[in-house]
Amino acid sequence: MPSETPGTDPGRHLIRYSGHAPFSPEVVVRAAGTSVFTEGGRELLDFTSGQMSAILGHSHPAIVSTVREQVAHLDHLHSGMLSPPVVELARRLAGTLPEPLDRTLLLTTGAEANEAAVRMAKLVTGRHEIVSFARSWHGMTQAAANATYSAGRKGYGPAAPGNFALPVPDRHRPSVVGADGELDWRRQLDLGFEMIDAQSVGSLAACLVEPILSSGGVVELPPGYLAALAHKCRERGMLLILDEAQTGLCRTGDWYAFQHDGVVPDILTLSKTLGAGLPLAAVVTGAEIERRAHERGFLFFTTHVNDPLPAAVGNTVLDILVRDRLDERARRLGAALRDGLDELARRHGVVGDVRGRGLLLGMELVGDDVLGDGGADRLGAAVTRRCYELGLHMNIVQLPGMGGIFRIAPPLTASDEEIARGVAVLDEALADAARTL
């Protein structure tokens, strides 16, 4: 039965929550694998894994089975009670991570995990100042939103004092260059911390960053950057918090993106990919930080902390990642997708850059400097709209002064044919949009 009378706005009773971005024009009634299906019977290839989360695709049979079994057996408990799925997931996460990361707090969303991590860092260090990237996205709760600079800061009154932005080491659009004209990220990092030190009141607690900025434009940190950043933190007695909401659990071809750089954070936050689309997040740290936090009365007591139902799903996610070797699959499919996108860049002049790692890739369209004021926004909207018409769901980030940047993140379970089909649709959409503009 249709949810709305034909011709009416299905979202008319909903609060719009995504800035100026509209809801999709069709209601989605079913999803399976790499596809979602609309009320009108259209199939859309999902190249965003839902909200960058469904790494196993939609309605994975093992996840469906786990939910059915667990919800009938043990779904929710008082927050002080433990259950076998929670104990097991904490143990297994520790087994996937390097020392000393072996203590886990299970929560619901990425914002909540970052909130808890920042709260823990402030308590343990006895300080309050937080550093994050100038194009960061860490969530919409208080501390997470204070550390978010890519959007959502205007119109809500003053942010909490002691939050500082660090320049983004964007190799495609470098702000500090060396004699060769390439990004001089070491000098940029030094300058960034010189500015932070000048503004700090001597209370630097932590640096919260993504190993690959996603909402900030799919910016992969240059080789050596993360280690240098960790050194800057150690010099100042700060903790390094890595937000792997979108990069963790095989998405980038490694189990965790920080392994690519050989840097172990003091605190790691996971979400999105951990529940493969269901609400599950985690804060992971070492025994020493956990001990100090506990001794100082660490409090992060929520309704759904350590709930058994999502924890059971997390265990199933780990089962499938190991069984199907999805880290290797992400590398292989990611290489094929990257080859396809690079070919599009060679043939379409409106593509300015392709970047990323594994199955988290970005494709940047040319900006206003090429198309004139507002041209980049019109082009990005036109390509996105044409992809949708042709049966491909894409997500585009629009940042001031830049072109549109597509965040391309299909499920790790996508087939070779689906990857090729998505690239073909994008090829057609680029040509059509460039022609109309």
**Secondary structure, 3-state, 256-306:** CHHHHCCCCCCEEEECHHHCCCCCCEEEEEEHHHHHHHHHCCCCCCCCCCC
From the candidates 129, 220, 243, 261, which is the catalytic residue?
243
Asked if 378 is an active-site residue, the reply is: no
Rounded Cα distance, 345 and 336, in Å: 14
From the candidates 112, 188, 407, 418, which is the catalytic residue?
407
Residue 324 has what DSSP assignment? T
Compute the CA torsion angle 252, 258, 261, 262 (nearest 10 deg). Answer: -130
Rounded Cα distance, 174 and 172, in Å: 6
**Secondary structure, 3-state, 51-115:** HHCCCCCECCHHHHHHHHHHHHHCCCCCCCCCCHHHHHHHHHHHHHCCCCEEEEEEECCHHHHHH
Rounded Cα distance, 81 and 86, in Å: 10
From the candidates 210, 261, 327, 418, which is the catalytic residue?
210
Asked if 197 is an active-site residue, the reply is: no
Count of CB atoms situated within 10 Å of the CB of 82 = 11
Asked if 246 is an active-site residue, the reply is: yes
- CB–CB of 238/204 below 8 Å? yes
From the candidates 46, 129, 244, 246, which is the catalytic residue?
246
From the candidates 46, 137, 307, 327, which is the catalytic residue?
137
Asked if 407 is an active-site residue, the reply is: yes
Rounded Cα distance, 47 and 89, in Å: 28
- Count of residues in the chain: 437
For residue 280, how far is the Cα from the chain centroid? 14
For residue 47, how far is the Cα from the chain centroid? 14
From the candidates 272, 329, 355, 386, which is the catalytic residue?
272
The catalytic site residues sit at 137, 210, 243, 246, 272, 407
